[in-house]
């Protein structure tokens, strides 16, 4: 069983290294390029939130862990020790409004939700833990949950 | 990300290559600000060689479009495909902008 783990400072200049190292591991584990792209987007959005808000200007670190469960599901956890912040509690942005009414911001978490099959937040001790689950082999737009529902 | 700027009679074409992530988006903002300062009001953004975009990139494009709307200008998109197209569709950005299959079609529309 292969695991991935990387810890780096929570600053935007490390974004590329976080994404590149995680992507290498995902590729080695056989995740399809298209799905790697989706994970990259979800992880970037989560990281940028942490870089901007978690440590409120003070230095801090981010850890990314990766693992595979049930032979098929990639579990990616993003951990920070910043202020408690439940990404999953944010309201949905309005994605139907026109140019004039469109607000800048608020899209990141919406994109995360659309890129992964499951998204779970928990506060563990003094850390925020955001868990993303991506199935290795299913249809492009079907999540593992939908699969279960369809079979029931 | 690389940004190639080409001035045509009808509009300026910004061709994006590579990845428009949170690190690259400010680079787009600076180029766009330069074009606005030069008086350009019609901007075509061509995505033929862009392989990735995140919300930071979307916000940069939205910010430019909002500025141009205030001055009777416009942003037109061309060559949206693959994962970049998917992000535009999911976020509803496909509904905000005129989109053409090819850059030439976007130019011809002006």
Split at pLDDT 50, 70, 90, the class of A141 is very low
Query: Is the Cβ pair B65, A99 closer than 8 Å?
Result: yes
Q: What is the pLDDT of residues A77-108, one digit of tens each?
A: 999 999 999 988 888 898 998 998 898 888 99
DSSP string, B58-93: HHHHHHHHHHHHHTT-EEEEE---HHHHHHHHHTTG
CA distance B23 to chain A (A): 7
Q: How many CB pairs (< 8 A) connect A and B? A: 66
Measured in whole angstroms, the distance separating CA B110 from the mean position of its chain's CA atoms is 16
pLDDT computed for residue A131 by the predictor: 98
- Residue A144 above 70 pLDDT? no
By Cβ distance, the residue of B56, B62, B87 closest to A102 is B62
Percent of chain A with pLDDT over 90: 74
> A99 touching B, CB under 8 A?
yes
Q: What is the pLDDT of residues A52-82, one digit of tens each?
A: 999 998 999 999 999 999 878 999 999 999 9
Task: Give CA–CA dist A71/B83, Å, rounded.
Answer: 26
Query: Is the Cβ pair B22, A96 closer than 8 Å?
Result: no
> A108 touching B, CB under 8 A?
yes
* B29: chain A residues, CB-CB within 8 Å: none
Q: What is the mean pLDDT of residues A131-147?
A: 66
pLDDT computed for residue B97 by the predictor: 96
Q: How many CA atoms lie within 13 A of A31 on its CB side?
A: 28
Phi, psi of A130 (to 5 degrees): -110, 120
pLDDT computed for residue A140 by the predictor: 46
Q: What is the pLDDT of residues B72-91, one digit of tens each?
A: 899 999 999 999 999 999 99
Alpha helical stretches, state H, chain A: 15-28, 33-49, 108-115, 144-151
Q: How many residues does chain A have?
A: 152
Q: What is the pLDDT of residues B18-58, one digit of tens each?
A: 999 999 999 999 999 999 999 999 999 999 999 999 999 99
Q: What angle do CA B28, A37, B95 make, to 5 degrees?
A: 60
What is the value of pTM for the model shown?
0.92
Split at pLDDT 50, 70, 90, the class of A137 is confident
Query: Is the Cβ pair A104, B63 closer than 8 Å?
Result: yes
- Residue A146 above 60 pLDDT? no
pLDDT computed for residue B105 by the predictor: 96
Q: Which domains does chain A have, with CATH numbers?
A: 3-150 (3.30.565.10)
- Closest-approach residue (CA) in chain B for A34: B83
- Residue A9 above 60 pLDDT? yes
């Amino acid at each position: 069983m292969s695991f991935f783990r990387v810890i780096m400072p929570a600053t935007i200049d490390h974004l590329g290294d976080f994404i590149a190292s995680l992507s290498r591991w995902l590729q080695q584990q056989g995740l399809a390029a298209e799905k790697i792209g989706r994970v990259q987007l979800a992880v970037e959005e989560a990281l940028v939130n942490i870089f901007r808000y978690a440590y409120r200007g003070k230095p801090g670190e981010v850890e990314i862990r990766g693992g595979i469960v049930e032979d098929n599901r990639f579990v990616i956890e993003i951990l920070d020790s910043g202020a408690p912040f439940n990404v999953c509690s944010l309201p949905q942005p309005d994605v139907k409004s026109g140019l004039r009414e469109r607000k800048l911001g608020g899209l990141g978490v919406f994109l995360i939700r659309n890129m992964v099959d499951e998204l779970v937040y928990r506060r563990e001790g003094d850390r925020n833990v955001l868990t993303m689950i991506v199935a290795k082999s299913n249809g492009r737009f079907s999540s593992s949950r939908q699969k279960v529902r369809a079979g029931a | 990300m690389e940004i190639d700027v080409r001035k045509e009679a009808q509009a300026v074409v910004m061709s994006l290559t590579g990845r428009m992530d949170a690190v690259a988006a400010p680079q787009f903002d600076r180029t766009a600000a330069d074009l606005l300062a030069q008086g350009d009001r019609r901007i075509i953004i061509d995505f033929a060689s862009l392989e990735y975009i995140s919300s930071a990139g979307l916000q940069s494009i939205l910010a430019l479009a909002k500025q141009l709307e205030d001055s009777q200008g416009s942003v037109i998109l061309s060559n949206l495909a693959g994962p970049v197209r998917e992000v535009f569709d999911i976020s509803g950005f496909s509904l905000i902008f005129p989109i053409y299959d090819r850059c030439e079609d976007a130019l011809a529309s002006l």
